[in-house]
């Protein structure tokens, strides 16, 4: 009966017989684009090619380098390579490479650019403000410290420090630690010196060797500033000026701080100005009416007989 009904339905032009179910031989997959030749398994390129990232890192600043190093262990190992930090440090400070350093360049970079200055470690209560001037380089071990911006041509004839300070307003300082030095301009409250007549502020040209803040002797407080010399300028001073110069380059173009008319500003400009050269640094702040200046030169040594690692030239109104 069922067979007859099926035949009758087919012959009468009724519904077609049910279609067979299609069997899938594999699951549905997402569409894959063709792999380009340069990304093939046999290609020499790799996203983790250390040489490539070394070159990329040379175009980044310190903050970007730290952020990149934090992304993975591989990047940390690649980015924290000391050669990268040496390149970036010398690039940002714009100084030549020293023969050797006692600390990793990543630590030197941090010490130079983390906002630290000498009054932050000591005498914070006396500190008012500061500005970074830049970096310069000591080739020799002798510095000229001066409060004037005119070239002192007769200095070689002077031997007595007191006479030099009195007649030229400058002095020599021996046993300077060669290498990179960083210079800041500090504004501090008086009295920092031994004058009791001043209740205002004092300007200080503050220079230090790049390794100073990392040294144990400095961190422990066992290294301190000693007075090199001081004197009073008992007449009106047009400006509070200080210069630190590598004597080896005293007469070269790399000590262009003596071209002071190009950078000290007009006489009614009271903003501090600074000039950095390869082997010298200078500051000047134009002054209003005054009765003179008390000038003080200080130096910090790495121990009693050690090299000079920091220099200060301070001016206080009389």
pLDDT computed for residue 291 by the predictor: 83
Pair (178, 312) in one structural domain: yes
Pair (216, 308) in one structural domain: yes
Pair (129, 96) in one structural domain: no
Name the domain count of the chain. 2
Q: What is the mean pLDDT of residues 290-313?
A: 93
Pair (80, 186) in one structural domain: no
Ramachandran angles phi, psi of 42, nearest 5°: -95, 5
Q: What is the mean pLDDT of residues 173-186?
A: 96
| pLDDT digit string, tens, across residues 229-286 | 888 888 888 888 899 999 998 877 566 677 777 788 787 888 899 999 999 999 999 8
Which residues span the domain enclosing 312?
122-317
| pLDDT digit string, tens, across residues 121-150 | 877 788 889 999 999 999 999 999 988 877
Q: Between 152 and 267, name the one with better pLDDT.
A: 267
Pair (106, 238) in one structural domain: no
Residue 4 lies in a domain: no
Residue 19 lies in a domain: no
Residue 149 lies in a domain: yes
pLDDT computed for residue 317 by the predictor: 82
Q: What is the mean pLDDT of residues 291-317?
A: 92
Pair (166, 204) in one structural domain: yes
pLDDT computed for residue 140 by the predictor: 94
pLDDT computed for residue 186 by the predictor: 93
pLDDT computed for residue 150 by the predictor: 73
Residue 187 lies in a domain: yes
pLDDT tier at 160 (50, 70, 90 boundaries)? low
Are 295 and 233 within 8 A, CB to CB?
yes
Residue 16 has pLDDT above 80, yes or no: no
Contacts for 257 with CB less than 8 Å, ≥ 6 apart = 149, 243, 245, 275, 277, 280, 281, 282
Pair (127, 102) in one structural domain: no
Pair (146, 262) in one structural domain: yes
Report CA torsion sign: 87, 92, 95, 101.
negative
Query: Which two structure tokens, joined as six digits, stand for 175?
Result: 């046993």
The CB-based long-range contact list for 54-58 (8 Å cut-off, 24+ gap) reads: 54/78, 54/81, 54/83, 54/84, 57/84, 57/88, 58/84, 58/87, 58/88, 58/91
Residue 17 has pLDDT above 60, yes or no: no
pLDDT computed for residue 110 by the predictor: 94
| pLDDT digit string, tens, across residues 207-234 | 999 999 999 999 999 999 999 988 888 8
Pair (128, 95) in one structural domain: no
Residue whose entry in the numeric block shows the structure tokens 């070394």: 54
Pair (274, 294) in one structural domain: yes
Residue 15 has pLDDT above 70, yes or no: no
Pair (162, 216) in one structural domain: yes
- ω into 191 cis (within 30 of 0): yes
| pLDDT digit string, tens, across residues 20-67 | 444 444 443 444 434 444 444 444 444 556 788 888 888 998 899 999
| pLDDT digit string, tens, across residues 77-136 | 888 889 999 999 999 999 999 999 999 999 999 999 999 898 888 777 888 899 999 999
Residue 181 lies in a domain: yes
Residue 269 burial (C-beta neighbours within 10 Å; 0-12, 13-18, 19+) = exposed
Which residue, of 58, 80, 111, is where some domain finishes?
A: 111
pLDDT computed for residue 43 by the predictor: 44
Query: Which two structure tokens, joined as six digits, stand for 229?
Result: 């010399």
Which residue, of 91, 111, 131, is where some domain finishes?
A: 111
Pair (153, 280) in one structural domain: yes
pLDDT computed for residue 27 by the predictor: 43
What does R_g of the chain's alpha carbons equal in angstroms? Answer: 35
Residue 24 lies in a domain: no
């Amino acid at each position: 009966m069922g067979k007859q009904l099926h035949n009758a339905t087919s012959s009468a032009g009724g519904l077609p017989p049910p279609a067979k179910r299609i069997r899938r031989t594999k699951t549905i997959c997402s569409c894959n684009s063709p792999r380009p030749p340069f990304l093939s398994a046999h290609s020499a390129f790799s996203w983790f090619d250390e040489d490539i990232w070394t070159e990329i890192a040379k175009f980044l600043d310190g903050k970007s380098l730290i952020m990149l190093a934090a992304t993975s262990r591989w990047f940390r190992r690649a980015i924290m390579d000391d050669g990268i930090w040496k390149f970036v440090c010398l690039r940002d400070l714009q100084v030549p490479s020293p023969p050797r350093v006692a600390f990793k360049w990543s630590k030197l970079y941090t010490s130079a650019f983390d906002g630290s200055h000498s009054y932050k470690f000591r005498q914070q209560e006396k500190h008012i403000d500061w500005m970074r001037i830049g970096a310069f380089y000591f080739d020799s071990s002798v510095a000229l410290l001066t409060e004037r911006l005119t070239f002192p041509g007769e200095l070689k004839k002077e031997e007595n420090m007191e006479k030099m300070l009195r007649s030229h307003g400058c002095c020599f300082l021996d046993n300077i630690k060669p290498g990179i030095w960083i210079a800041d301009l500090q504004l501090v409250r008086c009295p920092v010196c031994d004058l009791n007549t001043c209740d205002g502020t004092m300007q200080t040209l503050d220079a230090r060797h790049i390794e100073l803040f990392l040294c144990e002797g400095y961190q422990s407080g066992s290294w301190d500033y000693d007075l090199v010399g001081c004197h009073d300028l008992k007449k009106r001073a047009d400006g509070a000026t200080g210069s630190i110069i590598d004597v080896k380059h005293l007469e070269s173009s790399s000590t262009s701080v003596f071209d002071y008319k190009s950078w000290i500003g007009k006489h009614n400009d009271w903003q501090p100005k600074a000039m950095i050269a390869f082997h010298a640094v200078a500051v000047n702040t134009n002054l209003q009416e005054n009765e003179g200046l008390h000038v003080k030169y200080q130096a910090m040594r790495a121990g009693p007989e050690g090299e000079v690692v920091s220099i200060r030239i301070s001016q206080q109104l009389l």
